[in-house]
Chain A
Amino acid sequence: MLRVAGITQIFGGVTALSGVGFAIEAGKITGIIGPNGAGKTTLFNIITGIYRQTSGQVFLEGKDISGVPAERLAKLGMVRTFQNIELFSKMTVLENVMVGVHSRSFCGVLSCSLKLPWAIAEEGRIRAQARQWLDFAGIGDLADTEAGNLPFGKGRLLEVARAMALNPKIILMDEPAAGLNSHETAGLADLIRTICAQGVTVVLVEHDMELVMDICDRIVVLNLGTKLAEGTPREIQENPEVIAAYLGEDR
């Protein structure tokens, strides 16, 4: 589904990532973990076309997508969420999700400003789909709330609903559980499982080990810009190198 090969990223003189490569299977939930500064978010930004890597390639369904800008990746079926949720804070919750349907709607400046019949029909379709995704994420009752006024946990759900409105093949979530309480995290875990059950490949960067070990099928461990290990949650938990990286080496 998604494969990265030999990704190296150098910021000024700092090597954030060096030669990272792994493959992500379709229809599974894969977790990317690692101590702070391991390069997880940098890797995410490269995969999703926000940064351009120094070297290395990213393949989506066998197609080289290195350097393809973020807005084109969305059309290819890849979407992401952000660590510090990036909502359109001055728009309503429903409008936020309606932007998610943007890339699958077509009316241009002319037909929209003249309100031609097909533009009106399309607007209705966008609205209906957006409502569906709000209900999917369980925040249908908040449709008319201004997104900036949402509590953090609901904002996180909105971001997921908005991303799902693209009908993606693969969704990448950057620390989806950050800032959530245990109750909200449990809800999120269920939501992620439901998303995966619909055939969407899920990749998450996460610090909450309990969540990662609970929902992930496979785990990739990064440390200091390189891949340290890869395997099932059980294998990772028993991997001595991983334990050393997290707890510090026993001298």
Chain B
Amino acid sequence: MKKDLLKFLFFAVAVMLVPYALEGGYLMNVTVFVGIHTILAVALNLLLGYAGQISLGHAGFFGLGAYTSGVLTATYGWNPWLVMGGASVAIGLIAFVIGFPILKLKGHYLAMATLGLGIIIYIIFNETIDITGGPSGLPGIPYLQIGDVVFDSDLKNYYLVWGITLIVMLLAVNLANSRIGRALRAIHDSEVAARVLGVNARLLKVQIFALSAGICSIAGSLYAHTMTFISPASFGFNFSVELLTMVVIGGLGSVYGSFLGAALLTMLPEFLRFMHDYDIVFYGLLLMLMIMFMPGGLVRGIPDLVRKAAGRKGGA
């Protein structure tokens, strides 16, 4: 317990110091996205890594949050903070209702159903041109503001986004280590045994699906307010797959793993610019190697490597 808290505090301090190391620059902008992607990856990990239920439609919930915030603040001038909270609750509730029929499905069927859900949401963004602006996007979303502080620079947004990311991570770690997290892992290992022991597997899966969607919505709102412009292309099937990749590469069932996965997949393209269009080749190769040699994800693979290296040194 104490160890978990220390680990978290260490991580939080490191996060707070990053801007000093970067001294501004355009990487600052990328690290804001690492924060947003970490929130999303943690949310998906609760569902996929703990409860063992796949979703290929999470970009849809992310988009719903972004568009709800975007439309209600840019077009109707509502209070961004209230919209962010309200959208999260509303989208969580929608996911709760959708979750009951969808989460009855297992494996490939669940993947297909959530895939369909994501595509439907994506089409809605594209087609409701009067509200969302359609494929050309929705501009003019205001920056967030607390009192006189307007979050209009990468540095300010960094602290805003990462403040919320850290809260989400802490709550997720707590949840994962509680009776709820245990019940989720139990469902993952053997649903029938969990049910026989009195775990209401069906309800719990739906609850986590809803929670996960609600968290994605918050990330969406943050995305809308930091970008000030959104378009459907950011919330399509490709992004759902990218999220899934972040969770798997980082490590299923690990909150810090989700951060590693999000960080790697968000930063990597920036370092591969010199490869122009061939970066996708490198990207695919990396994925293959990761799955072959670190199936447990970075969070388990790196310590293993370190241990092996230390062992070799000790032996010599």
Q: Which chain A residues have a beta carbon within 8 Å of chain B's beta carbons?
A: 48, 50, 69-71, 73-75, 79-80, 82, 86-91, 95, 98-105, 107-109, 112-115, 119, 122-123, 126, 162-163, 166
Contacts and interface: CB of A to CB of B under 8 A. Distances in A.
Given A107-B178, A107-B180, 12 more contacts: A50-B196, A69-B195, A71-B201, A74-B198, A86-B196, A88-B193, A91-B186, A98-B182, A100-B197, A105-B179, A162-B197, A166-B198
Given A86-B190, A112-B174, A70 B195 contact: yes
Among B178, B185, B192, B211, the one with the most A-chain Cβ atoms within 10 Å of its Cβ is B178
The 7 closest A-B pairs by CB, nearest first: A103-B198, A74-B198, A112-B178, A86-B193, A88-B189, A113-B171, A113-B175
B136 interface: no
A99 B192 contact: no
Contacts of B186: 88, 91, 99, 102
Nearest to B199: A102
Interface in B199-214: 199-201, 207, 211
B102 interface: no
B15 interface: no
B68 to A, nearest CB: 22
B194 interface: yes
Interface residues of B, number: 27
A22 to B, nearest CB: 22
Given A74-B198, A99-B197, A113-B171, A90 B179 contact: no
B298 interface: no
A91 B189 CA distance: 9
B267 to A, nearest CB: 28
Contacts of B175: 109, 112-113
B47 interface: no
Interface of B: 171-172, 174-175, 178-183, 185-186, 188-190, 192-201, 207, 211
Contacts of B180: 107-109, 112
B197 A166 contact: yes
Contacts of A48: 196
Nearest to A172: B196
B198 A71 contact: yes
Given A48-B196, A87-B190, A103-B198, A114 B174 contact: yes
B164 to A, nearest CB: 14
A100 B182 CA distance: 10
Contact of A89 (B183, B189, B200): B189
A112 B179 contact: yes
Contacts of A105: 179
Nearest to A111: B178
A100 B195 CA distance: 10
Contacts of A123: 178-179
A99 B207 contact: no
A162 B197 CA distance: 8
A71 B197 CA distance: 7
Given A87-B190, A88-B185, A89-B189, A102 B172 contact: no
Contacts of B179: 98, 101-102, 105, 107, 112, 122-123, 126
Contacts of A50: 192, 196
A163 B200 CA distance: 16
B174 A99 contact: no
Among A69, A95, A112, the one with the most B-chain Cβ atoms within 10 Å of its Cβ is A112
B75 to A, nearest CB: 33
Nearest to B185: A91
A112 B208 CA distance: 13
A71 B185 contact: no
A55 to B, nearest CB: 23
Contacts of A79: 196-197
Nearest to A69: B195
Contacts of B196: 48, 50, 70-71, 73-74, 79-80, 86
10 contacts: A70-B192, A71-B195, A71-B199, A71-B201, A74-B198, A88-B185, A102-B197, A103-B197, A123-B179, A163-B197
Nearest to B207: A109
Contact of B193 (A87, A90, A107, A109): A87
Contacts of A80: 196
B185 A86 contact: no
Contacts of A163: 197
A87 B207 CA distance: 24
A71 B178 CA distance: 19
Among B183, B190, B196, B199, the one with the most A-chain Cβ atoms within 10 Å of its Cβ is B196
Contacts of B181: 112
Contact of B174 (A89, A103, A115): A115
A129 to B, nearest CB: 12
A80 B192 CA distance: 11
A70 B178 CA distance: 23
Given A91-B182, A95-B182, A102-B179, A109 B197 contact: no
